[in-house]
A and B are shown apart, each in its own frame.
Chain A
């Protein structure tokens, strides 16, 4: 019985490794090898190890092309991601806190709006129209607010569920100690939200950093683009140099990969902590 269990443990694991190698490792290895080839070899589109490995040269060339546009794009994308995710976490948790703790006539309305924000596809041209009148169209702050507006519903829903599990006794103790609403929330409650904040930060960062549709609509033009837009514009310009195209993909995937590796344990731990704690 025990031997059988060990056998199936190994058997299923090995099948899993084979399966993931074919479906997940091969495409990633393909990107990596393409990014390391010279132009000629890359244009054959084959899955093979580069005869002359020049990944670093390709990466340097990608950064240098079009007047270091990729560096500007990286700065833009970083500001966009950090700013919008920060605003999402702060504003979203404030809404979620009051929504969970206070039962008022506003609740049904707020709940409906949150649900609407999750389901309804944003109306593109009217949004541009509003942004133009506020001078936010084609600006980075404008795009930051857009990401906040579109990501708020998901953030509130997730945060609220977590806040509901924090006992009210904590609030009451803080109030007895003379804390006002700001101190209660930011000094007492906010630090307790750590694990859900990690989840939100990871999920929303992936979403915002990799977002293509919103920058395409609301921050068009090539001078001030995000990394995804520069990559997309790069397709038409480098149709023949697949090595550079794939080096570009590799370079702009690394930030999210690093973030995942850093937070990996915490994402899984945060998500399953409920079961572990019980």
Chain B
């Protein structure tokens, strides 16, 4: 679907956002470039090498400012922008104040860094920070690897391809609550289907997937991968489909093996898809709440708590200031990881 690159290519004051389906200009020779231009029709912007970022769109229309204003009025920003501003921007800005207060929604008392100090002293809370990072990176990495693998198989001419593509996507359609309940039952340590199957095959008792503090977090991460792999696969399928056929034909003429085709064509030319899957799944994984709350509720103990579940627990307990401090910490964690990462992915893409 969308291959999404969030980052700034044109320097700090011109953050540009591209969604790219299909390869960008890789400097591999000009042959397919015309075709590429066309190929990038669906959810696609063209790769804009640094210098051209602003030049391309201006070329077409050379009308006066008044004319532009009449045709593309700024007030088109207002309906969506207003909702976004009131319900997203304003709360985000205010969170940086309320995070430093003891807060009852009616009265806020400024208490300096106390909330943050508490957050980093409480073992249950600091553990959630570690868990958030583990959860975000394992789910993201697994989705990249497995999504790529499935997409390569589902792009090859095999039987029942349409069926296989649909089935892989089905878990995406089920809600986190539904998936959470289903896997709680499937992974039940004593009566669950999974452990019954393990017992039948190996004659060993399976672990308490969601009840053993050592593996609960990773079990939830595995369920998350199960649920999200369909979307990652879909993005990769679109990315692979956008690779111009010339490359595959040339490889066939040269007698390349399937592995060589994968290594030399699919892997590098689907890099925009990889970049999208990494970015989207990492943002989702670091902010993840639904599945953790519907499977373990952060337990047993605090062993699978992530920042998002801590925010909810503090909110439930009425510690609004502490909850908001958690939000600020999550903000910093996500931004500190995603921003440099997307810049790096961006630069890799330009190099390719």
Contact = CB atoms under 8 A, between A and B. Distances in A.
A110 B91 CA distance: 18
Chain B, interface SS category:
helix
Given A108-B14, A181-B70, A235-B181, A157 B283 contact: no
A256 B176 CA distance: 13
A16 B166 CA distance: 12
Interface string B67-97: 0101111101101110110111111101100
Nearest to B176: A212
A71 interface: no
B241 interface: yes
A24 B22 CA distance: 29
B80 A272 contact: no
Contacts of A26: 193
A169 B183 CA distance: 53
B19 interface: yes
B333 to A, nearest CB: 9
Given A129-B94, A272-B238, A44 B308 contact: no
A149 to B, nearest CB: 4
B262 interface: no
B327 A98 contact: no
Nearest to A227: B175
Contacts of B308: 121, 213
B6 interface: yes
A47 B71 CA distance: 62
B135 interface: no
A117 B21 contact: no
A245 B181 CA distance: 9
Interface residues of B, number: 118
B58 interface: yes
B131 interface: no
A263 to B, nearest CB: 11
A277 interface: yes
Given A165-B41, A235-B181, A274-B42, A149 B193 contact: no
A270 B14 CA distance: 30
Interface in B205-264: 226, 234, 237-238, 241-244
A49 interface: no
B175 A123 contact: no
A219 interface: no
A111 B175 contact: no
A232 B179 CA distance: 11
Contacts of A95: 76-77, 80-81
15 contacts: A12-B156, A16-B164, A94-B76, A103-B57, A117-B84, A120-B335, A126-B324, A127-B91, A149-B87, A164-B57, A195-B42, A257-B173, A267-B234, A271-B234, A275-B242
B51 to A, nearest CB: 15
